[in-house]
Structure 1
Amino acid sequence: MTDRLEPAPRDDLFAPPEPGTLSRPAPQPQPVPPAHPYAAGPGLVTPVPAVGQQAGTDRPATPEPSAGHSTTEPPGVGDREPAARPPARRPRGGGAALVVAALVAGLVGGVVGDRVSDRVDPDRPSDAALPVSGTQGDGAPAAPSRPAGSFADIAAGVLPSVVSLEVRREEGVSTGSGFVLRADGYILTNNHVVAGAATRGDITVAFADGSEHPAELVGATADYDLAVVRVEARDLTPLVLGDSDEVVVGDAVLAVGAPLGLESTVTAGIVSALHRPVQAGEAAQTAFIDAIQTDAAINPGNSGGPLLNAAGEVVGINSAIAQPPGSMSATGSIGLGFAIPANQARHTAEQLIETGRATYPVIGVLLDSTYRGEGVQVATEAQQGQAPVTPGGPADQAGIRPGDVILAIDGRPVSMSDELIVAIRARQPGDAVTLRVRTGEEERDVRVVLQEQASQ
């Protein structure tokens, strides 16, 4: 059946939310050979200015003197006769004294320099040698260590399992991040990182040790913005997918990836909010994410990399960043990054590995994006041949009718179409949800069993 969760098709449905704009931090475009001029396409962002030539940071040239500007002294000063200088005095025997003093100073300097050289000569033992940081008592280098659970300790454990991906097409090259899912070569990333390879293009995976492997696309879904690729490698170290339902606001997190193409970059922050309804991407490939919000710095190129908790477990997949109003592309972190919860990623990745495709849950209604009022309204009329309520679908069986207003899902109020869609897609097909529905002046709770819909 067709996707019945989408709001009624309208031009303004996919307009960026105000006051900020949500955008994917996604593949970092690279310079394109002259023979293949760059053409922005799906998954590509505006190229980042070269290092040292970033927009708005060029130093102004030294200003030329303006017309009529005088470099002479002020009037009345330069016209004066210079004051007469007193005749120079000839030293009385001073010339010889200065020469002798210079010779003495040179001799003393040479002696002192020789003594200092003796002291720092590495081949000579010194009684004044002091302990150096990073050495043991006998002077041997000490192995660096960090407390268990520290950011440095977590980073050391996960970096070998975090990769950067390069997708090369005729239009150009884009990069992103990912991490090892299974020891036999399966790697998880964002769909928009590898979207260009779905029809044509080569994927290369680079590991932290510098090794590179060609990869094949196993499966992808634009609805959840997730993809799985595989390399011919064995004995890889997978990262552990944690329980994202246990994440709370204020938890410390690390974001790992390749922002701006800089591999093995680690940034730290906290979980700043949960259940953010994020709609990222173009209208044709929109992902609805029940996102974890973090202030850990996420930039273009971080897409697909892991968001880790204090135990080194993956609790999210970094996927989108917010931009100030008026920004049309991802320019960098402003402290508002969004990650796909790990529980959703686990379920979707398992489907992609098994079948190459994913599914998502629906209730079988069209939503009216023009409605202004409390809750979310079911469309009153058919749109492009689709009925407002799918006959025989979950909502129809629960007694929901065109024009009804959905006020809450499982006790959580909803006021925008995106909020309801995201809340439903955070569940699984076959799950039951309770919707608070208003028909006219009457309100009631209805139980709806979610139906499965094939993903794009």
Structure 2
Amino acid sequence: MPATVSLRVGNSQGSGVIIDREGRILTAGHVSGEVGRDATIIFPDGRRLHGKTLGANNGIDSGMAIITEKSDFTFVEMAKSATLKKGDWCLSLGHPGGYKPGRPPVVRLGRIQNLDAKTLVSDCALVGGDSGGPLFDMHGRVIGIHSRIGGRVNSNVHVPIDTYTRTWDRLAAGEVWGSVFSVFDFLKPAEAYLGIRSVMDKKSLRIESITPGSPAEKAGLKINDVIRKIDNQKLATPDELGAFLKARRLGTQINVYVQRGGKAVSVAVVLGKRSD
């Protein structure tokens, strides 16, 4: 449990797990985001250390970060996906809703529902803030990293641990590759709502209107903001934005990077439900 940490990068936060004595942290690609960003690693006891984001495979949502301060910390062992089978018991750890002082990582018990080369599905419950946290086997070894809440509460998606070991050198070297959409092709998540109308503006999207009371308005997005990217994905058309939102569920936090009056602004938005 001490190796399961909260990972804060900019205005976003998720979970992660320390995996070796060098302080490398496995997390979700949408949590680590861009390479070389400052990160704050928060331990269950409240201790905080500085870190940096490393590489990411957006195609399967795997990411890596590293602790940059010298300190003592616990790390955990990785399993091998070949040892896993459908029906195996597993434990999910993370920081649902974000880190809360005095609360250790929350543990949930479940079983593996499905497993292939790119995805592991379990019935361990996940909520916002759990993304990037570890899924353990009953021997205390990491078997996956939380990626996305599925279409049902009891069907959630994790990145299998073997995908990290196969691409370890690329992640550690700070390489980013893959398309963010491919990992969600087999899921139909519950609809998430942002509340903007956008139009194409050269190779970006400009916010033309914002629905009153919507998640976008509550978070502070403005009309005429030019969206450069959301999380780690550049979106050039309204259709691409629609596809991005369909891959997310209610309560998911996204980070919208906009150009506003000559300034670069980052806005954290928690996706909500359409009120009509």
TM-score bucket of the superposed structures, by smaller chain: 0.5 to 0.7
Give the alignment's TM-score, normalised by structure 2: 0.58
Tell me if 1:323 matches 2:151: yes
Out of 154, 162, 169, the position equivalent to 1:335 is 154
8 A contact 2:56–2:177 mirrored in 1: no
Out of 347, 351, 360, the position equivalent to 2:166 is 347
User: Which amino acid is 2:20 matched to?
Assistant: R
8 A contact 1:185–1:234 mirrored in 2: no
8 A contact 2:60–2:118 mirrored in 1: no
Deviations 1:136-165 (CA, angstroms, capped at 9, x unpaired): xxxxxxxxxxxxxxxxxxxxxxx1111001
User: C-alpha distance in 2, partners of 1:258/1:349?
Assistant: 25
The structural deviation recorded for 1:219 is 2.1
Name the counterpart of 1:112: none
Name the counterpart of 1:218: 54
8 A contact 1:348–1:358 mirrored in 2: no
Unaligned runs of 5+ in 2: 179-184, 186-276
User: C-alpha distance in 2, partners of 1:181/1:350?
Assistant: 14
User: Which amino acid is 1:342 matched to?
Assistant: I
Name the counterpart of 2:114: 273
Count how many residue pairs are aligned between Structure 1 and Structure 2: 174
User: C-alpha distance in 2, partners of 1:164/1:178?
Assistant: 6
Deviations 1:368-405 (CA, angstroms, capped at 9, x unpaired): x9xxxxxxxxxxxxxxxxxxxxxxxxxxxxxxxxxxxx
8 A contact 1:252–1:269 mirrored in 2: yes
Out of 7, 10, 13, the position equivalent to 1:175 is 13
User: Which amino acid is 1:265 matched to?
Assistant: V
Superposed, 1:234-383 pairs within 5 Å as 234-262=71-99, 264-275=105-116, 290-323=118-151, 334-353=153-172, 355-357=173-175
Identify the structure with the greater helix proportion: 1
- For 1:188, what is the secondary structure of its paired residue? strand
User: C-alpha distance in 1, partners of 2:86/2:15?
Assistant: 25
- For 1:302, what is the secondary structure of its paired residue? coil
8 A contact 1:273–1:292 mirrored in 2: yes
8 A contact 2:134–2:144 mirrored in 1: yes
- For 1:345, what is the secondary structure of its paired residue? helix
Out of 28, 44, 54, the position equivalent to 1:190 is 28
User: C-alpha distance in 1, partners of 2:78/2:177?
Assistant: 20
Runs of 4+ in 1 over 3 A off after TM superposition: none
User: C-alpha distance in 2, partners of 1:314/1:180?
Assistant: 10
8 A contact 1:257–1:306 mirrored in 2: yes
Unaligned runs of 5+ in 1: 1-158, 276-288, 325-333, 361-368, 370-456
RMSD over aligned CA atoms reads 2.2
Identify the structure with the greater strand proportion: 2
Superposed, 1:424-443 pairs within 5 Å as none
The structural deviation recorded for 1:315 is 0.8
User: C-alpha distance in 1, partners of 2:118/2:171?
Assistant: 20
User: C-alpha distance in 1, partners of 2:143/2:162?
Assistant: 8
Give the alignment's TM-score, normalised by structure 1: 0.36
User: Which amino acid is 1:175 matched to?
Assistant: Q
User: Which amino acid is 2:4 matched to?
Assistant: V
Name the counterpart of 2:2: 160
